[in-house]
A and B are shown apart, each in its own frame.
Chain A
Amino acid sequence: MLKQRNQIFKLGAVLFALITLVACSSTSESDDAMDASQGSSTSNSSSAQSSAASTSGQLTQEQIRAQNAIQQTVFYFDFDVAEFQAEDRQTLVYHARDLAANPNKRVRLEGHADERGTREYNLALGERRANGIMNFLIVNGASRSQLEVVSYGEERPAATGSNDQAYSRNRRVEIVSR
């Protein structure tokens, strides 16, 4: 049983490395990664995949980037809009890869809405937003069984107050590790 899990883990690590490689070669951001690699932060990498990836400095750098990216777990939405914001796309790709690399990891996608509009509609909107992120994570490598969606509608605001600033903080999906 333990051995089996180990194999899955290894497979995931290899997969992660492959995906990262493909991703790096297909983006134009590798220049930034090269510049940053001159810094001292490379040695701080303590990721579980280090044995698979340590052969390349560029990959390690990418891992740091991935580690940093998945620190962001809250994603905001425009009013009445169910699609996440374009600038969060890459971060969500990192989340998907992290899930793919860690098949035992389970997360909950908690969808929220601001207080405008009726409560039941907001409950549905929160779910629509969380579903949008769930589908994106699946397309990018996460497994359906790792993901649970729950909508709180407008019942659990992140900010109180009836103003645009509070509203923009309340329209969100939170990725919560289980």
Chain B
Amino acid sequence: MRKILSVLIVFVISFSARAELSIQITQGIDNPIPIAVVPFSWDGAGVLSEDVADVVVGDLEQVGEFRALSPGNMLSMPSEASEVFYNDWRTLAQDYLLVGTINRAPGSQLVQVQYEFFDVNRELKLAGEVLTGSVAQLRDIGHEISNIVYELVTGTRGAFDTQILYVVAENEGTEYNNFRLEKADYDGQRPQVLLESGEPIMSPSWSPDGQDVAYVSFETDLPRIYIQNIASGQRRQITNFPNINSSPVWSPDGSMLAMVLSKDGSPDIYVQNLNTNELIRVTDHPAIDTEPSWSTDGRSIVFMSDRTGQPQIYQMAIGAASYEVERLTYDCFQCMKGAFLPDGVNLVHVRRETRQSQYQISILNIETLRVISLTSTSLDESPSVAPNGSMIMYATKFDGRGVLDAVSIDGRVKFRLPSSRGDVREPAWSPFFN
């Protein structure tokens, strides 16, 4: 009886955890690449806590360019090259095949994951290696295999081992009284609380090496900028100027922090040198200047200003005179929160086409001036680009709650990270960690 009970409890727990974290693919593409990922064999006792093949399938299907064959439809279950019959996979119209084995590393608690990846049509082994880690790292190993597969097929570096920051706000009635800064895998798995407060937390951003985060906390009753080391949890207050201190964003080389200060009357863009603490004023205008981001070369700042009456996006070199500001958006009622993709040409932003329009995550090519709008849900905001430029994560509303969605850069694929409690907002996609 006791045994049955404990099994039941385990079932309930794992069920609720799954409900909290499962990804929902809300829009896929018409002709995804067919790939067979055979469940990896395991020679140890019991069941592993992570199914590595499942992690890979989740990764590849999420970005929408792949469709994995269901194991129930497989004609054979090879786990290494000698067991692979290409004909089985051609019959099933699969272009690619991934197989693997997991073994306990001799004389240790570690496990070895050996995988092999094949091009079915060319009957060619494209990759294969042995990855070693703890059982707790099986997810990371799965993401690493996904990165290799993704890069071999698409030519683009995979970002499956990256992470996200975001803010969760919980309310009792109308009163928001719990704010959390959290970090999770890019797919929302393994969430971790970095800071919890009864006062608002805003604007999380990553240092370029992925070791530190900057954010705004109202914990002193006033918005102030803090930097926190992820590994040690150590944090320090960076600013204490009168009025608004917000929008901290690291320069690409990590030496400077762009920010918004309204100490001189209205919000303006400043850059603080983190080594010397020298503060450089970038914009000087009585209107609202905010939402700084860095150009890819780190020499200029993209920002939003309502100096013409409505928010538009501008760019200005650091140290340039006020009249040298360049306006980047014209044909929208409001264009906000601009940031360049890694290519330095395409500008992701929040666009409200006309006064009557929704807020849409859009991309403007500043050379051709072509605009693509990627989303059409409700109150879409806070776009953050994956470090490989393949996807954009953003905040939206669903069923009256804040949730995080991601959309591929061509708008064809979308997925959602549900959460069980509270409003989730302000995603910040990490850089590559290595």
Which residues of A are in contact with B by a Cβ distance under 8 Å? 115-121, 123-125, 127-128, 149-153, 155-162
Contacts and interface: CB of A to CB of B under 8 A. Distances in A.
A119 B202 contact: yes
A125 B350 contact: no
A121 B171 contact: no
Nearest to B397: A162
A127 B244 contact: yes
A160 B422 CA distance: 13
A117 B291 CA distance: 12
Interface in B386-430: 397, 400, 425-426
A121 B336 contact: yes
17 contacts: A115-B379, A116-B379, A118-B382, A119-B425, A119-B426, A120-B291, A120-B304, A121-B288, A121-B291, A121-B311, A127-B262, A128-B266, A128-B288, A150-B221, A150-B223, A151-B223, A157-B176
B304 A121 contact: yes
Interface string B199-225: 010110000000000000010011100
10 interchain residue pairs of minimum CB distance: A155-B200, A124-B288, A118-B336, A120-B290, A124-B267, A120-B291, A118-B337, A124-B290, A118-B381, A120-B247
A149 B267 CA distance: 13
A127 B202 contact: no
Nearest to A110: B221
Given A120-B247, A123-B244, A150-B222, A161 B311 contact: no
A123 B246 CA distance: 9
A35 B171 CA distance: 47
B268 to A, nearest CB: 10
Contacts, number: 84
Contacts of B336: 117-118, 121
A78 to B, nearest CB: 14
Contact of B203 (A120, A127, A150, A160): A120
B378 interface: yes
B247 A117 contact: no
B260 interface: yes
Interface residues of B, number: 38
Contacts of A115: 379
B329 interface: no
B400 A162 contact: yes
B297 to A, nearest CB: 23
Contacts of B288: 121, 124-125, 128
A159 B378 CA distance: 18
B62 interface: no
B373 interface: no
Contacts of B311: 117-118, 121
B229 interface: no
B260 A152 contact: no
B314 interface: no
B174 A120 contact: no
A172 to B, nearest CB: 13
A168 to B, nearest CB: 14
Nearest to A169: B174
A115 to B, nearest CB: 6
Contact of A124 (B221, B244, B425): B244
Contacts of B350: 118
Nearest to A158: B174
Contacts of A150: 221-223
B337 A156 contact: no
B334 A117 contact: yes
A156 B246 contact: no
B400 A161 contact: yes
Nearest to A170: B174
Contacts of A125: 288
A120 B246 contact: yes
Nearest to A157: B174
Contact of A149 (B176, B243, B246, B337): B243
Nearest to B378: A162
Contacts of B66: none
Contacts of B221: 150
Given A125-B288, A152-B218, A161-B400, A119 B267 contact: no
A160 B397 CA distance: 12
A127 B267 contact: yes
A151 B202 CA distance: 13
A155 B379 CA distance: 15
Contacts of B381: 118-119
B244 A155 contact: no
B202 A123 contact: yes
